[in-house]
Structure 1
């Protein structure tokens, strides 16, 4: 094991992103924070640092436990970090609210016909005016 490794390599090795290019894109887009501040791709990560990053709909906050430059299997990758309790609780709460919103949504019984489409377009025009 090494003492520190580049942020993009660590995110890739910890299996947060499929490729280093995707990790770099997220970092350059300002979506990844290290110890509360925006990070650059070449930022050196060492154990004890806190990383905040998006994963789909969720925002993960993890503490770095170990660093490596090699991508291994998922069980080994999960040993590189530990998610904070606040992050886990927030993710579960948001997932539950998304699940409830999905259950309350009712799909239309049929596709809109010509008259319905005209009403939809009229409504959209009124919203923009």
Structure 2
């Protein structure tokens, strides 16, 4: 049985998802790590083929365990121990920039108003 599983906090630290082992443990305690859909405690065992969801830095990442690291190694070594299943992020929606006028600039002229309307994507008055 030895070598078939490893603690989830050790795995998260070993594949370089968390900078320190204590950060990985804290993420498990806070409920940011899930193994096969269930919230994981730090000492929960992770086996080959398990799905690990980690929410760090306000993004959730999904990984499949393909290896069990014995110790923390280089990033190249760490990449051999997981398969990233995270879907690509949705495309960013471009919004028009907000127009900010200087305080005390007074009422905009007709030309300024037309420029502002053009920047905001509104049609200007035909007359």
| Same fold? TM cut 0.5 | yes
Larger radius of gyration: 2
| Per-residue deviation, 1:20 | 0.6
Unpaired runs of 5+ in structure 1?
114-129
Q: Which residue of 2 aligns with 1:5?
A: 6
User: Which residue of structure 2 aligns with residue 75 of structure 1?
Assistant: 76
Runs of 4+ in structure 1 off by over 3 angstroms are 103-110
RMSD, matched Cα: 2.3
CA distance change for structure 1 residues 107 and 32 in 2, over 3 Å: closer, same or farther? farther
CA contact (8 A) 1:7 1:43 kept: yes
TM (norm. structure 1) is 0.69
**Any conservation in 2 of the 1:2–1:68 contact (CA below 8 Å)?**
no
Task: Calculate the TM-score normalised by the size of structure 2.
Answer: 0.70
- In structure 2, stretches of 5+ residues that fail to align are 105-127
SS of 1:88's partner is coil
- In 2, the alpha carbon distance for the partners of 1:5 and 1:45 equals 5
Select the structure that is richer in helix.
1
**C-alpha distance in 1 between matches for 2:11 and 2:26:** 14
Q: How does 1:56-71 map to 2 (within 5 A)?
A: 56-71=57-72
